Amino acid sequence: MNPKYAPLFEPYRLNNGVEIKNRLTVAPLTIYDQGANGEITEVNRRFWENRFRGFGLYIMPFTNVHPSAIGFESPQAISEADLPALKEYADLAHEQGAKAVVQIAHAGSRAQPAMTKGYDVIAPTGDSFGHFRTMTDAEVREMIASFANATELILKAGFDGVEIHGANGWLIQQFVSAATNLRTDHWGGSLEKRFNFPLEIIDALDAVRQKHNRPDFIIGYRFSPEEPGERGITMKETLALVDALLEKPLQYLHISLWDFYKKARRGADTQLTRMQIVHDHINGRIPFFGVGNLYTADQILAAYETGWAESIAVGKSILLNPNLVELIETGREDEIETQFDWDKANEYRYTPKMLHGTRIGTDFYPPSKQIAIRFKSEEY
Ligand SMILES: Cc1cc2nc3c(=O)[nH]c(=O)nc-3n(C[C@H](O)[C@H](O)[C@H](O)COP(=O)(O)O)c2cc1C
C-alpha cells in the first residue's frame, strides 16, 4: 500500500469503548429487489457478498421499523419473523470483518400506500389531499416503541448497533422540519418540541441496550443539515439539533450529503462547508462521519485530511468497486472506477432495479460511460 493512505487505516474508539478498526465506513445503500416481506434474496446476497471487505463499519441501509414505514423494497425489523434475514445480514457483515449497524427508518408521508399492508400513510402533519394523515399522539408514542422493538430484534440478530435515520426527508426529519411538522402538541410548535420525537427514540433505544446489558451496542444518528424552502431546516437549526443530540448517549453522528464540500446555504457562514461548520460545532465531543461524491483513494484521503470527519462514508464508489479497500491496500488504487461501464455490467453485481435505474440515468447512481441521459429521481 502507498504509505500516504495509512491515516485511513488508523483505528478509533467510540465513547462506549468499542473500537472501529479504520476510518472507512460503508454508507447506507438501498439496493431494492428485496423479498415481499423484506427477506434477503439471491440478488441481494450476490450484491453484498465480499462487497466491503476491509471497511471498519458497515451501515446496513434503510430498514423498516413498522409496516406503515415502507416506501420502497427494503429490509425490515418489525417482528421475530424478520430475525433470519437480519441474522444473515449480520453474519455477512461480520464475515467481511466490519462492525455492523442497521439504519432504522420510517418513510412517513413518503410511504407507498400499495406497500404498507393496509396501514395508513402517516406523518407528523397530514396533507389536504388525503395522501397521508396526521399521526395521533398515541401513534407517535407507538412509533417510538416500534423503533425500540426494531432495535431489540437487531440486537438479538447479532448486530453491533443501529443508526437512527433522521435524514433524507423521511419520518424523523419530517418531525424536525417546520416545513412538514405543523403540530402544536408535545411533538411540535417550537424548535425544541420538534426535536422531541428523535430525542425520545434515542431514550427508548438506550433502554433496550440497558435491558440487555449491552453498553457496547452502538447508537448513531444520521441527519440532513439543510432543506430548501422558507420553512425548511437551516444550518442554525441543525446546530441546535446537534447540541440536543449530544445530550443523549449516542456514539456517532453521520451527515447525509451528496457533496462532501457543499457550502452552507443559510443560517451559518455560507463561505464555509457544511462539514466544517458541523465538525467545528461538535468540537471533538463525538465522532462525526462525512460523505459525498468521494470515489478514488485520493479523494477519500483528501476529504479525511480536511480534519472535518473522523470517518469517511463511501457509497457510489462501492457500487462500482466491490473490492475498493483491497485496491487501496494492494497499491492498485489506479484501478478504482468512477463510471459505470456497460461492457463490465456483470462485475458490479447490481440488482435488476439498480441496473434499470442506471439505464434510465437516475441521478443518484454513478453515471454511466455510455449513456448520458440523467434525470432527477422522484423516488429518493
Ligand atoms: C443506490 C443508493 C441507495 C441509497 N440508500 C440510502 C439509504 O438507504 N439510506 C441513506 O441514509 N442513504 C442512502 N443513500 C445515500 C448514501 O448513503 C450517500 O449519502 C450518498 O450516496 C452520497 O455518498 P456517495 O457519493 O459516496 O455515494 C443511497 C445512495 C445510493 C446511491
Mean pLDDT split into 10-residue runs, the chain, 380 residues: 98 98 98 94 96 98 98 97 98 97 98 97 97 98 98 98 98 98 98 98 98 98 96 97 98 98 96 98 98 98 98 98 98 97 93 92 89 54
pLDDT at position 352, please?
95
Report the sign of the C-alpha dihedral through residues 319, 224, 137, 162, in that order. positive
Q: Which residue range forms the structural domain that includes residue 257?
A: 3-338
Cα(26) to ligand 1 centroid in Å equals 10
Q: How many domains does the chain have?
A: 1
pLDDT at position 211, please?
98
pLDDT at position 380, please?
40
Q: How far is CA 328 from the centre of its chain?
A: 24
- 10 Å CB burial of residue 129 (0-12, 13-18, 19+) is exposed
Report the sign of the C-alpha dihedral through residues 97, 207, 289, 143, in that order. positive
Cα(32) to ligand 1 centroid in Å equals 12
Cα(295) to ligand 1 centroid in Å equals 13
Residue 265 lies in a domain: yes
Atom of ligand 1 nearest to the CA of 167: 11
Atom 25 of ligand 1, residue of closest alpha carbon: 293
Atom 14 of ligand 1, residue of closest alpha carbon: 29
Cα(136) to ligand 1 centroid in Å equals 31
Matching residue, cell 433470519? 84
Distance, in Å, from the CA atom of 208 to the CA atom of 41, rounded to the nearest integer, reads: 29
DSSP 160: S
C-beta of residue 320 within 8 angstroms of C-beta of residue 338: yes
Atom of ligand 1 nearest to the CA of 168: 11
Distance, in Å, from the CA atom of 336 to the CA atom of 343, rounded to the nearest integer, reads: 16
pLDDT at position 373, please?
59
Residue 347 lies in a domain: no
Q: How far is CA 358 from the centre of its chain?
A: 21
Distance, in Å, from the CA atom of 146 to the CA atom of 124, rounded to the nearest integer, reads: 16
Distance, in Å, from the CA atom of 303 to the CA atom of 299, rounded to the nearest integer, reads: 6
Greatest CA separation for the chain: 59
Atom of ligand 1 nearest to the CA of 258: 22
CATH number at residue 180: 3.20.20.70
Report the sign of the C-alpha dihedral through residues 291, 293, 296, 299, in that order. negative
DSSP 262: P
Tell me the pTM. Answer: 0.97
Residue 350 lies in a domain: no
Distance, in Å, from the CA atom of 229 to the CA atom of 231, rounded to the nearest integer, reads: 6
Give ligand 1 pocket residues (Cβ under 6 A): 27-30, 61-62, 103, 165, 167-168, 222, 256, 258, 291-294, 314-317, 364-365
Atom 10 of ligand 1, residue of closest alpha carbon: 28
